[in-house]
Structure formats: structure tokens, C-alpha cells
Amino acid sequence: MPIIPSSYRAPWFLRNGHAHTIYPVAFRRVPEVRYIRERIELEDGDFLDVDWSRVQGKSALVIAHGLEGSSDGAYVRGMARAFNGRGWDVAAMNFRGCSGEPNRLLRSYHSGATDDLLHIVQHVNRAGYDRVGVVGFSLGGNMVMKLLGELGANIPAWLVGGVGISVPCDLKAACETMARRINAPYMRRFLVSLRQKLQAKQARFPVEMNDAGYERLKTFRHFDDRYTAPIHGYRDAEDYWARCSALAFLPAIQCPALLLNSLDDPFLAQECFPREIAAAHRWLHLETPINGGHVGFAGGGLRHGEYYSERRALEFLGADPASANGER
């Protein structure tokens, strides 16, 4: 599909990628959404917590959050509220270890852990919904796009499509962008949060989760080389990034998919804007607003209203799937 011209215009004081990234985190609140938690026991002995916001709809949306996020993030709640308001039930996923309780196994979540996402999507379908859509933010968006590509021609008819928002679909390029000095405050925040996750599991896994010398870790490359890659079966950070980047899976997607990445996103590299792939693709839609920051796209009252990313996800997934991009 052609690259979609974006109608989004950011508020005048958020026409800076950093300001737009920070503002929703600092000020947005979505108190209207009330969750009911379901714990799903997995065959490997671990668990996933899913937070449901139901309005007795026939369609359901699965939401996958970003790095070190959870279902409680304002961006997740905002998306849930928007879909609830159009008659969709919502299942907001918490990745392993992200629901407020450490997961049981050594393995955690990572950018390529589509097995957990697929398990939740299938679980939601089995709950009786005839239409299921999926939206992912940042790391969760990479998972969504990778999963759709992995499913390829085997996409079930009930899975109507997916939306990825602020997606680092080239993990290596995005991690190198995050390592720049201007992004150091974000990196420090992520590394502090990730260390807390390690420390919560040290008693059970004293060797693998040893954080001695952790203060020397300054980038995702350092963290992924030491923890993510060996724990999850990858040779090193480079191997992990290469095998888990959604970019390589985009050409195989065979269902409606929207990638919404802003051009001023401070977390993304140019490689995360797959224009050539989208231009020649039957199913992949790429929208690149000038502004939006990382998981921003503020609008509709800023603090309490509906954001542009929520309206776009609704427009894209709310239509008949056959009308979104030709017949299935």
C-alpha cells in the first residue's frame, strides 16, 4: 500500500519529539478504565496476567505494552477506553514479570517473545469473540508486527489485523539511537527499572541474575549482551536484534497492518521507517506524522481526551477487515 499521508497535527507546544514523549507520561491520566485481572497459567510453569475491560462486546482488542510498561500505563488505558467506547472488550496484556509480581521462570519478556502474545490472542478468541484485533506499543508493537509476519498466510480469519505504534522494528538501529548522549536520561530510567526486575529474581537465580558491576552497563547493547541474549537462547545482542526485529517479518504479513511511527520519535532510527517495504506491500500501511514523539500523538484535550493513535487504531481495526485493504 502507499504510505498514508497523515492528518495528525500536534499541539503547538508538543512539536518537539522529547517534549511529546515526556508529556503524556508526566500528565496523562485515564481513571475511567476498570480492570478485572485474569491469571493464565502456561504450560512451561509460568503465568501471564491479563487485565480485562469488558463492555459485553462481540469484538475484542489485545493490547501489548512497551518496555518496562504494564497494562496500567496511560497509553494502554487510553486505547482501552477508546475501544470500550466503540463496543469492544479489551484484554490488556502484562508481559512476564510486568504485572507487579516477578514471574516464576528465568526467562522474561523481550522484543521477539511472540509465543506469549500468540497465546493471549488465541485465549481471547477462545473466550467467544468472533473478531480479535491487536495493538502494540514500542516493544509490544515490534512483537505485534513480528507475530503477524510469522503467521503469514496462516493468519486466522478471526484475527482482523494489527496496529503497531512507535515501533523500533529495526532493533539494532533503534538501540544504537538510544545509546546517543541526548537519549541518556531515557536509557538511565530503563536500566534502573530493568535492574529492579533482576534484583527481584536474584534469590531464585543467583548466577543468571547477578547484578554485580551493573553500574557499568550504559546501553541496551550492554544489557542485552549480558542478560537478554544468553537467558533467551541468543548468541549475543547482535544475534538477538537480528532474529527478533520485526523488519525482517514485515514482507510476510498477509492481514491488515498499520505501522504508526512519528518522524520526530527520539527512540527510532531511519531504518524503523520501512517505506520501500510498505510502498510495495498489499497489507502493510505506513503512516509517519511529522510529530508525535514516542508513544505520544496527544490530542483531544491532552490530559483526558482521546489521542490520535487511538482514533487511528479504531479507524483501522473497527472497519470490516475486507475493506481495510482488499479482500482477505
221 & 91 share domain? no
Judge whether 254 and 153 are in contact, CB under 8 Å.
Answer: yes
Which is it for strands 59-64 and 257-260: parallel, antiparallel or unpaired? unpaired
Final residue belonging to a domain, choices 193, 218, 244: 244
For residue 4, being part of any structural domain is answered with: no
**Pair 148, 201 in one domain:** no
- Judge whether 270 and 173 are in contact, CB under 8 Å: yes
Q: Decide if 311 contacts 287 (C-beta within 8 A).
A: no
Q: Which pLDDT belongs to residue 1?
A: 57
The answer to whether residue 132 sits within a structural domain is: yes
Looking at this protein, which amino acid is placed at residue 228? Answer: T
Is 138 one of the annotated active-site residues of the chain?
A: yes
Coil, strand or helix at 44:
coil
Tell whether 40 and 81 lie within a shared domain: yes
Both 35 and 100 in one domain: the answer is: yes
Q: What is the pLDDT of residues 218-273, one digit of tens each?
A: 999 999 999 999 999 999 999 999 999 999 999 999 999 999 999 999 999 999 99
Catalytic residue among 138, 166, 262, 309: 138
The answer to whether position 230 is within a domain reads yes
Residue 328: inside a domain, yes or no?
no
**Using CA atoms, how far apart are residues 36 and 50, in angstroms rounded to an integer?**
8
What is the pLDDT at residue 301?
A: 61
Q: What are phi and psi of 258, to 5 degrees?
A: -120, 125
Residues 319 and 233 in one domain: no
Q: Of these residues, 265, 281, 285, 309, which one is catalytic? A: 265
Please report, for the domain that includes residue 309, its CATH number: 3.40.50.1820
Residues 228 and 204 in one domain: yes
pLDDT tens profile 39-79: 999 999 999 999 999 999 999 999 999 999 999 999 999 99
Q: Would you say residue 3 lies in a domain?
A: no
Same domain assignment for residues 190 and 229: yes
Q: Classify residue 281: in a domain, yes or no.
A: yes
261 and 129 part of one domain: yes
Q: Are residues 50 and 132 in the same domain?
A: yes
CB atoms within 10 A of CB 206: 9
Same domain, 119 and 251: yes
Query: How is residue 6 annotated by DSSP?
Result: P
- Asked if residue 16 is part of any domain, the answer here is yes
Residue type, 235: R
From 196, 225, 244, the end of a domain falls on 244
Domain boundary among 228, 244, 260: 244
Tell me whether residue 265 is one of the annotated catalytic residues.
yes
Within this chain, do residues 83 and 142 fall inside the same structural domain, yes or no? yes
Judge whether 294 counts as a catalytic residue: yes
Q: Give the closest residue to 82 by CA, choosing from 312, 321, 322, 320.
A: 312
Say if residue 160 is exposed, middle or buried (CB neighbours under 10 Å; 0-12, 13-18, 19+).
Answer: buried
How many domains are contained in the chain?
Answer: 2
Residue 211, domain extent: 171-244
Instruction: Say which DSSP state 260 is in.
Output: E
Provide the pLDDT for residue 325.
39
* pLDDT at residue 300 in the model: 67
The answer to whether 77 and 24 have CB atoms below 8 angstroms apart is no
In a domain, 291, yes or no: yes
Which pTM was predicted?
0.95
User: Are residue 108 and residue 166 in the same domain, yes or no?
Assistant: yes
Give the C-alpha separation, 194 to 138, whole Å: 16
3-state helix, strand, coil in the chain (%, to 5): 40, 15, 45
Tens-level pLDDT at each residue, the chain (328 residues): 568 999 999 999 999 999 999 999 999 999 999 999 999 999 999 999 999 999 999 999 999 999 999 999 999 999 999 999 999 999 999 999 999 999 999 999 999 999 999 999 999 999 999 999 999 999 999 999 999 999 999 999 999 999 999 999 999 999 999 999 999 999 999 999 999 999 999 999 999 999 999 999 999 999 999 999 999 999 999 999 999 999 999 999 999 999 999 999 999 999 999 999 999 999 999 999 999 999 999 986 655 689 999 999 999 998 533 333 333 3
